[in-house]
Homo-oligomer: A and B are copies of this chain.
Amino acid sequence: MAIAKGPQAFPRAEFLRRLSAVKAEMGRRNIDALIVLDSSNITYLTGYTSLSGYVPQGLVVSMDEEEPTFILRRQDTPAAIHQTFLDRGKIIGYPEALIGNPDKDGFDAVIDYIAEAGLGTGSVGLELSTLSAPSAEKFKRRMPDAKIVDCTRAVAWIRLVKSDLEITVMREAAAIADAAIMRAAEVIQPGVREADAVAEILGTLARGANGKPGTMVSQISLCSSPRTGTSHIAWSEDVFRKGSQINLELAGVRHGYCAAIMRTFSIGTPSERLRRVHDAQAAGLEVALNTVRPGVTCSDVANAFYRTIAQAGYTKESRCGYAHGIGWVEPTASLKDGDMTELKPNMVFHLMLGNWIDEDFGYVISETFRVTDGGVEVLTSAPRKIFEM
Q: Which of B134, B206, B230 contacts A152 (CB 8 A)?
A: B134
What B residues does A358 contact at CB under 8 A?
1
> Which residues 214-241 of A sit at the B interface, judged by CB distance below 8 A?
214-217, 219, 221, 226-227, 229-237
Closest B residue to A77 by beta carbon equals: B359
Q: Contacts A200-B203, A216-B219, A317-B95 known; A100 to B134 CB distance under 8 Å?
A: no
Closest B residue to A329 by beta carbon equals: B54
B221 near A195 with CB under 8 A, answer no
A199 near B202 with CB under 8 A, answer yes
Asked if A117 lies at the interface with its beta carbon under 8 angstroms from chain B, I say no
Interface centre among A206, A317, A334 (most CB of B within 10 A): A206
| Least CB distance, A199 to chain B, in whole angstroms | 4
A317 near B3 with CB under 8 A, answer no
Q: Which of B134, B226, B231, B319 contacts A128 (CB 8 A)?
A: B134
Interface centre among A226, A233, A234 (most CB of B within 10 A): A233
B50 near A226 with CB under 8 A, answer no
Asked if A185 lies at the interface with its beta carbon under 8 angstroms from chain B, I say no
Closest B residue to A201 by beta carbon equals: B206
Interface centre among A76, A198, A199 (most CB of B within 10 A): A199
Distance between Cα atoms of A133 and B358 in the complex (Å): 36
What B residues does A204 contact at CB under 8 A?
199
B237 near A74 with CB under 8 A, answer no
Q: Contacts A100-B336, A132-B133 known; A199 to B207 CB distance under 8 Å?
A: yes
Asked if A388 lies at the interface with its beta carbon under 8 angstroms from chain B, I say no
A3 near B200 with CB under 8 A, answer no
Q: On chain A, which size bracket covers the interface?
A: 35 or more
Q: Contacts A204-B199, A336-B100 known; A227 to B3 CB distance under 8 Å?
A: yes
Asked if A389 lies at the interface with its beta carbon under 8 angstroms from chain B, I say no
B195 near A199 with CB under 8 A, answer no
Q: Contacts A132-B131, A199-B206, A226-B4 known; A100 to B322 CB distance under 8 Å?
A: yes
> Which residues 288-333 of A sit at the B interface, judged by CB distance below 8 A?
317-319, 322, 329
| Least CB distance, A93 to chain B, in whole angstroms | 10
What B residues does A217 contact at CB under 8 A?
198, 202, 217, 219
What B residues does A168 contact at CB under 8 A?
none
Q: Which A residues form the contact surface with B (CB < 8 A)?
A: 1-4, 6-7, 49-52, 54, 74-79, 81-83, 95-96, 99-100, 128-137, 150, 152, 193-196, 198-200, 202-204, 206-208, 213-217, 219, 221, 226-227, 229-237, 317-319, 322, 329, 334, 336, 339, 356, 358-361
16 A-B residue pairs with Cβ-Cβ distance under 8 Å, sorted by A, are A3-B230, A4-B226, A51-B221, A52-B231, A54-B329, A75-B356, A82-B227, A82-B233, A99-B319, A129-B135, A136-B136, A195-B207, A195-B213, A195-B214, A196-B213, A199-B204
Give 3 closest A-B pairs by Cβ, nearest first.
A195-B213, A133-B136, A100-B334
